[in-house]
Chains A and B, each alone.
Chain A
Amino acid sequence: LAKTTQPISMDSYEGQEVNITCSHNNIATNDYITWYQQFPSQGPRFIIQGYKTKVTNEVASLFIPADRKSSTLSLPRVSLSDTAVYYCLVGAPNNQGGKLIFGQGTELSVKP
């Protein structure tokens, strides 16, 4: 399983774009990159998943360079409600039966 490294914490202000980068140097060919968001006293929530290049949904964008050794979660125009912990996960669901390996995550604090 590929190990991931992401910043422990980040600060931002309302209305700014936030980019959280995750390093995964040992990513395997079959691995996907998935991001989860967790608010206090709640379970994690799936945000986005990608394999290569760029993926965008109504919540975020995920940028993956050609070598796939890192990825960046981009949150456009954050608000106070985006204050949460963000987890980057790497793995191959088919090979691992959907087993998620969570790291410590990045604690994002959005200030007014």
Chain B
Amino acid sequence: EAGVAQSPRYKIIEKRQSVAFWCNPISGHATLYWYQQILGQGPKLLIQFQNNGVVDDSQLPKDRFSAERLKGVDSTLKIQPAKLEDSAVYLCASSLERVSSYEQYFGPGTRLTVT
């Protein structure tokens, strides 16, 4: 089975520019997550989708970050304008709707460098 796909793998931008990341989850997975992982830290959840609806976006900096999951399949995360502190790896994960499981499947991530 194909894994979670993300693109691009690397991105370098200047502060105040905008950037977008794309994620295609595993086929049939209803739940999609975006995480931010700063170097040396564990991943932090930014937003969670159930099909095309938002379940949790409490830690998404909504003044500059936005995400959508049209048609309940692939998703896009955007940052506009970027700040230096946004430099991190952005991970996408997906999971089946399964009772009592934390089994999420992660993509390889997009490494963002803001200069």
Contact = CB atoms under 8 A, between A and B. Distances in A.
A97 B50 contact: yes
Chain A residues touching B, majority SS: loop
21 contacts: A34-B102, A34-B103, A41-B108, A41-B111, A43-B93, A43-B109, A44-B43, A45-B106, A46-B103, A46-B104, A49-B101, A89-B102, A93-B100, A93-B101, A98-B48, A98-B102, A99-B45, A99-B48, A99-B56, A104-B40, A104-B41
Contact of A104 (B42, B99, B105, B109): B42
Given A42-B109, A43-B91, A97-B50, A49 B42 contact: no
B100 A100 contact: no
Interface string A7-35: 00000000000000000000000001010
Interface of A: 32, 34, 41-46, 49, 87, 89, 91, 93-94, 97-105
B43 A98 contact: no
Interface of B: 4, 31, 33, 40-45, 48, 50, 55-56, 91, 93, 95, 99-109, 111
Contacts of A102: 41-44
B42 A98 contact: no
Contacts of A42: 106, 108-109
B102 A32 contact: yes
B84 to A, nearest CB: 22
B42 A43 contact: no
Contacts of B42: 87, 102-105
A98 B95 contact: yes
A97 B53 CA distance: 13
Contacts of A44: 43, 91, 104, 106
Nearest to A33: B102
B88 to A, nearest CB: 13
Contacts of B103: 34, 46, 49
Contact of A43 (B31, B95, B102, B107): B107
Contact of A93 (B4, B102, B108, B111): B102
Residue from B44, B45, B104 with most neighbouring chain A CB atoms (10 Å):
B104
Contacts of A103: 42
